[in-house]
Amino acid sequence: MQFISTRGGMQPLPYCDTLLEGLATDGGLAVPEQLPQVSAEVLESWRELTYPQLATEVLGLYATDIARDDLERMCQAAYSNENFPTEGVVPLRPIDGGLTLVGLSEGPTLAFKDMAMQFLGQVLEYALAQRGSVLNVLGATSGDTGSAAEYALRGKDRISVFMLSPQGRMSAFQRAQMYSLTDDNVFNIAVDGVFDDCQTLVKNLAGDLDFKKTHHLGAVNSINLARITAQSVYYFWAWLRATDAVDTASRAGFEVSFTVPSGNFGNILSGYFAKNMGLPVRRLVLAANENNVLDEFFRTGIYRPRAAEQTLATSSPSMDISKASNLERFIYDLVDRDPARVVQAWRDLDEQGYFDFSSQQSRFADEFGIVSGTSTHADRLATIQAVYEASGEIIDPHTADGVTVARHHVESGVPMLVLETAKPEKFQETITEAIGVTVSLSEELQAMLEAPQHVVDMNNDEQALRGFIEQHAATL
């Protein structure tokens, strides 16, 4: 299995080389030359596997340059009982209205990002040891990516982490989870701006090939293909669990739908990969919050990111994103894998502030199976309250965005699975506002909230960031 760039300027690379590159050398994103295919027979043969075993099978279709024994060991370590103490790793929990939550927040940072990051930490360390190299991870977070990356990479040899976050734009819990870490290889940088400003800094430095090479820069944001492939595993897991009760003769081709709270388009892209690998998926429903640039795109075909000052601070802050990095991978398929048309789309975006695929909009649902919707703060509060009253389940505000939008896309006879984003403990203020309940915290979490925080405040200044990395980068 080889990987190429959406912009056509990168020689095909194997899996490990691709994940160490992060952003492709031509500024594009890595995609498989061809998606691997999973037949109904193979899918059914996976039904009795544990989650680590399933991850080995799915990721083994991509990571063909990793020895099977090594991949199995890494998947067992990533999805261990220590990291994911809940039985089965990813539980499915029914709520009201016939919806089912896919429990993706059982990991060390209580967010779905752990599902990919724990594997990424394993495979990065493996790849660097194989090559005798180091990696300086440069990332941007709107909330949960940062902590998941830092917890997966803290203390690891050959790796330093430089994580940018927007000042004042995350919950108190999210800030504490990141800034309380004291590991020597973790550097938190709070940028005076919004998430898109952080993301732009990351892209600018990753696009400077001399700087990237000199300082061994890599990425753990969802531009890293390993994140996308690892996340696709739980779509297969959820389908297998959702169809356990279906008559054996009817399982082949039995469709389910997934609703995915989305800001950067990475999580739903993983479902898109799974669907195109052969997983029977009826609909992929994108749920946006008030920063609904992606919803506008899938409703109209026009992609028009907003300026930083127009990006709203909401009660589902991890989705307060205007420029969705992973959309480029979908555009690549939309233009029939023509790199020149991808480059033209981004040239249009730079020159006029938008690009227009309205002539292709009907294909989004009909051919690709993607539909979308928007949720507001009032919707989140009402949904958290309704779910709590009906089932006793407390959901976080991002998951509430998903449940809100999912209700508009339920189809008779098609199970609707909503991907959980995080545990409610991370967003106490919104939970209290919605249902008047204080979510109890463990002694460990309470101590984390009260611990001293370690963070460097920085202006939205590319040169300042370059200087900081030069001073603190891991070296050979």
Q: Does residue 230 contact residue 257 with C-beta atoms inside 8 Å?
A: no
- Predicted confidence at residue 274, as pLDDT, reads 98
- Predicted confidence at residue 423, as pLDDT, reads 95
Residue 474: band (very low, low, confident or very high) from pLDDT cuts 50, 70, 90: confident
Residue 61: band (very low, low, confident or very high) from pLDDT cuts 50, 70, 90: very high
- Whole-angstrom distance between the N-terminal and C-terminal Cα of the chain? 29
- Predicted confidence at residue 172, as pLDDT, reads 87
- Predicted confidence at residue 476, as pLDDT, reads 76
Domain chopping of the chain, boundaries: 92-108+230-435
In the predicted model, what is the mean pLDDT of residues 217-244?
93
pLDDT per residue as tens digits for the range 385-440: 999 999 999 999 999 999 999 999 999 999 999 999 999 999 999 999 999 999 98
pLDDT per residue as tens digits for the range 360-380: 999 999 999 999 999 999 999
Residue 171: band (very low, low, confident or very high) from pLDDT cuts 50, 70, 90: confident
Only one residue has tokens 């609703």, namely 259
Flag whether the pTM goes above 0.85: yes
In the predicted model, what is the mean pLDDT of residues 97-123?
95
* C-alpha gyration radius of the chain: 21
- Predicted confidence at residue 23, as pLDDT, reads 79
- Catalytic hit among 113, 156, 423, 426: 113
Short-list 36, 41, 54, 38, CA closest to 252: 41
3-state helix, strand, coil in the chain (%, to 5): 50, 15, 35
Residue 323 designated active-site: no
- Predicted confidence at residue 404, as pLDDT, reads 98
- Predicted confidence at residue 205, as pLDDT, reads 94
- Predicted confidence at residue 168, as pLDDT, reads 87
In the predicted model, what is the mean pLDDT of residues 125-140?
92
Phi/psi of residue 119, each to 5°?
Answer: -70, -40
Task: State the chain's mean pLDDT as an integer.
Answer: 94
- The Cα–Cα gap between 184 and 200 comes to 26
- Rounded to the nearest 10°, the torsion over CA 87, 226, 78, 183 is -120
Amino acid identity, position 165: S
CATH code reported for the domain at 92-108+230-435: 3.40.50.1100
Following DSSP, what letter does each residue of 251-296 receive, concatenated?
A: -TT--EEEEEE-SSSHHHHHHHHHHHHT--EEEEEEEE-S--HHHH
Any residues with CB less than 8 A from the CB of 14 and at least 6 apart, and which?
1, 2, 3, 64, 65
Statement: residue 221 has pLDDT above 90: no
